Amino acid sequence: MNGEIPSTTPESVGMSSDRLGRIVPVMQGYVDRGEVSGITTAVMRRGKIVHMESVGLRDIELKLPMTRNTIFRIASMSKPITAVAAMILYEEGKFVLTDPIADYLPQFKNMQVYVSGTEDNLELVPANPVATIHDLLRHTAGLHGGGEPVIDSLYRAAGIDFWNREFTLEQMIAKLGKLPLHHQPGTTYEYSRAFEVLGLLVQVITSQPFEVFLEERIFAPLGMVDTGFYVPNNKLDRLATLYQWTDDETLEPFDEGDPPHFTVPPKNPWGGGGLVSTVDDYLRFCQMILNGGELDGQRVLMPATVRFMQMNHLKPEQGSHPSAGPGVGTGLGFKVLLSPAMNGRIGNAGAVNGGGAANTFYWIDPKEDLVYMVWTQLFPWGIRDFRHKIHPLVHAALLS
């Protein structure tokens, strides 16, 4: 399946053209100040696009414009897609969420939890209880996400790094299974390599490569023609350059290695952060979620499953993503807005969202039948505040 989501006038779906017109000048300001190379924004309501604009450049040196079909590294926006893949198998009865991970991935048998000590003199205790598939989906499996120096050192020594392409997915997870957990499973939220483990889980259960399962069960049915783990040669001219903000407050291209990371098929397709996509493709994915698991007659999940994924799955004592702030919970692959007032951000309780390390962001608001996005390609994450400014710009355009 392929085909653009239809566009319409804002007024036909209860939005204001004049107020949506405020978005471009705000985003253009970031480009004019030299803070980003370029930005694409999109707004979709009631299944139709009412705003799709790009400002600036996707490549400064070559003076190539940011366009609607520019390909972006979406990093952690891969996670909802991986969660959907897992929940497809859940619906098929291939597992239940309370199943121990080790039932399917024996690499995670007899896991140990770090207590104290140094790299060569670790004090460990057995994991109790054992981590489950549910723990992977909500980041409570005890896996390390960074910040504990001893475990950080062990991860580096094992070569578990996003930019390391030497290992297959199986080899990487085998290394991960030999390292200590940071927390007892089920006790603490920690943003980690859990979705890479989920990718291997999907691969083991289905007996087919993770990337093939995504293509056959999600991307092809939804018409996501530009989404995958690398950019083929015939599309490389559309891949945006990834920039970094330097100490002298300028933009420079980020070194992605040789050959550049997303230009060749990876040995280890990372379910937590390895995909590239376009705004149009990701709008199709979001509309599928908004529709309760279906798009253009292609059903990926059932409505009850999608609703379940959009619920908060954490207790307060388990914590939350450090960037989420108050009033935000964790679904299965999504952040969930529980209290707009507590979060200090306009929106509706029940809206879900997420972002990627290169500053791509999306929001899905079921109450308003609304999706909106703001995407660029810039490290470090969160250095610009356009992700906060787009909320009032979009919601102020709602007329009904």
Residue numbers of the domain that contains 149: 85-206
Report the CATH number that the domain containing residue 98 is assigned in CATH.
Answer: 3.40.710.10
Decide if 389 is inside a domain.
yes
Same domain membership, residue 241 and residue 174? no
Alpha helices by DSSP H, listed for 260-373, are: 279-290, 303-309, 340-343
- Please compute, for residue 231, the number of CA atoms within 13 A of its CA located in the half-sphere on the CB side: 22
Alpha helices by DSSP H, listed for 139-237, are: 149-158, 169-177, 194-206, 210-214, 220-222
The phi and psi torsions of 18 (rounded to 5 degrees) equal -60, -45
Decide if 1 is inside a domain.
no
Tell me what pLDDT residue 141 has.
98
The SS3 assignment for 36 reads coil
Same domain membership, residue 218 and residue 289? yes
Tell me what pLDDT residue 165 has.
80
Beta strands in 89-202 (DSSP E): 112-118, 121-126
Same domain membership, residue 180 and residue 213? no
Same domain membership, residue 221 and residue 178? no
Same domain membership, residue 107 and residue 16? no
Same domain membership, residue 335 and residue 217? yes
Domains contained in the chain, number: 2
Residue closest to 204 by CA, chosen among 346, 364, 86: 86
Tell me what pLDDT residue 163 has.
83
Same domain membership, residue 238 and residue 89? no
Tell me what pLDDT residue 344 has.
93
| Ranges under pLDDT 70 in the chain | 1-3
Judging by DSSP bridges, how do beta strands 48-59 and 38-45 pair with one another? antiparallel
Tell me what pLDDT residue 2 has.
53
Strand order in the sheet with 38-45: 64-65, 48-59, 38-45, 370-375, 360-365, 352-356, 335-337, 328-330
pLDDT single digits (tens) 247-262: 999 999 999 998 999 9
Cα–Cα distance measured from residue 131 to residue 175, given in angstroms and rounded to the nearest whole number: 17
Q: Which residue has the tokens 């400002």?
A: 55
Instruction: Report pTM.
Output: 0.97
Tell me what pLDDT residue 322 has.
79
Same domain membership, residue 387 and residue 263? yes
Decide if 54 is inside a domain.
yes
